[in-house]
Amino acid sequence: QLVEAGGGLVQPGGSLRLSCAASGFTFSNYEMNWVRQAPGKGLEWVSYISSSGSMIYYEDSVKGRFTISRDNAKNSLYLQMNSLRAEDTAVYYCAREYCANGVCYSDFWGQGTLVTVSS
């Protein structure tokens, strides 16, 4: 199970920290992603972190503002979001990446947490 938390209403320029609690599997074995969906829109990848946390990537529009991290001892994934903009308003999902035989896909998703950036 993946359960996101930490969403809410924040003013432009503000910060939020999202968390994703994992259970039912060995969290430390899996790469993870954050994916977002603006209201009425499609899915947009936000950030990736390797299973150990040593490799991290971001979508261009969030580079320098968002920070992904994980605590494998706590089975948790995080997304620190700073300098938030109206266009960051979205439901944020965490997703587990399953890789086998050179093929990777997001096999398990949380239900999402809504972030609203508005004054």
Partner 1 sequence: EIVLTQSPATLSLSPGERATLSCRASQSVGTHLAWYQQKPGQALRLLIYAASNRATGIPARFSGSGSGTDFTLTISSLEPEDFAVYYCQQRSNWPPLLTFGGGTKVEIK
Question: Binding to partner 1 by residue 5, rule CB under 8 A?
Answer: no
Rounded Cα–Cα distance for residues 78 and 71 (Å): 8
Stretch 63-102: interaction string toward partner 1, x if CB under 8 A:
------------------------------x-x-x-----
Which position among 23, 73, 103, 119 is part of the footprint of partner 1 (CB under 8 A)?
103
Which position among 7, 18, 33, 84 is part of the footprint of partner 1 (CB under 8 A)?
33
Q: Are 12 and 117 in contact (CB under 8 A)?
A: yes
Rounded Cα–Cα distance for residues 97 and 45 (Å): 13
C-alpha gyration radius of the chain: 14
Per the document, the length of the chain is 119
- Site of interaction with partner 1 (CB under 8 A): 2, 31, 33, 35, 42-45, 48, 57, 59, 93, 95, 97, 103-112
